[in-house]
Amino acid sequence: MLGDYERRDSFRCGVGQLKFGRSHGRQTRDTLDCAVARSVVVAELGGGQMIIDPFARDCDFAHPYTNDINPETNAMSNLDAEEWLEALRGQYYPGAFDGAILDPPFSNHQADRTYGTANLYTIPGKIKRIEMLVGSLVRHGGKVVKFGYNSNFSHSAFECVGVQLVRYGGSMNDMIISVHERRIAEWF
């Protein structure tokens, strides 16, 4: 059962199914500097578990399993996310990790303008392959916390169990935080 991320403005759809919340936040390049974002990650992935973060920037929540293509960040590896996940899959057995943070640039425009990278949305199928790799590395019962402009997660062994909207005000796009739990063990 999910804990309450943000009590104000939140409700539960169905009994023990989808936790939903909406709250105000501050937009930042370092996503987990936003208190709401961090509270969801701590609630869902906290507790000294083995977490992977392919787009970590300077965030050390998943240390030492952190990667970011930008070598000027604090991440432990500086590979393209897909390459890094393929390498992890070569080193660890399927389902070796307890969870994942999935926080890529949210669009091609943001990738280019904010982070100076632009291969995620221009190479067909890349985001889907990254999501499949992340899913294959997370164990049964483990969770993926995804940040973006949508709540999709491609791996079919996972079910969406929580959504937290972060609104910034005015005409700015919300950030959608979605939580996906692995419900099927044998599907890598």
Ligand X SMILES: C[S@@+](CC[C@H](N)C(=O)[O-])C[C@H]1O[C@@H](n2cnc3c(N)ncnc32)[C@H](O)[C@@H]1O
Binding site for ligand X (CB under 6 A): 30-32, 54-59, 68-70, 73, 80-81, 103-105, 111, 115, 117, 119-120
Q: How far is the CB of 111 from ligand X (least distance, A)?
A: 6
Distance, CA of 160 to chain centre: 12
> Sign of the C-alpha dihedral, residues 34, 40, 43, 46?
negative
Closest CA to 147 of 37, 26, 60: 37
Closest CA to 188 of 97, 59, 57, 118: 97
Instruction: Let me know how many helices (H) and strands (E) the chain has, helices first.
Output: 4, 7
- Cα–Cα distance, 74 to 98 (Å, whole number): 22
Select 121 or 187, whichever has its Cβ closest to ligand X.
121
Select 34 or 138, whichever has its Cβ closest to ligand X.
34
Q: How far is the CB of 72 from ligand X (least distance, A)?
A: 9
Select 29 or 183, whichever has its Cβ closest to ligand X.
29
Select 68 or 131, whichever has its Cβ closest to ligand X.
68
Q: Which two tokens stand for residue 184?
A: 């099927």
Q: How far is the CB of 147 from ligand X (least distance, A)?
A: 7
Q: How far is the CB of 54 from ligand X (least distance, A)?
A: 6
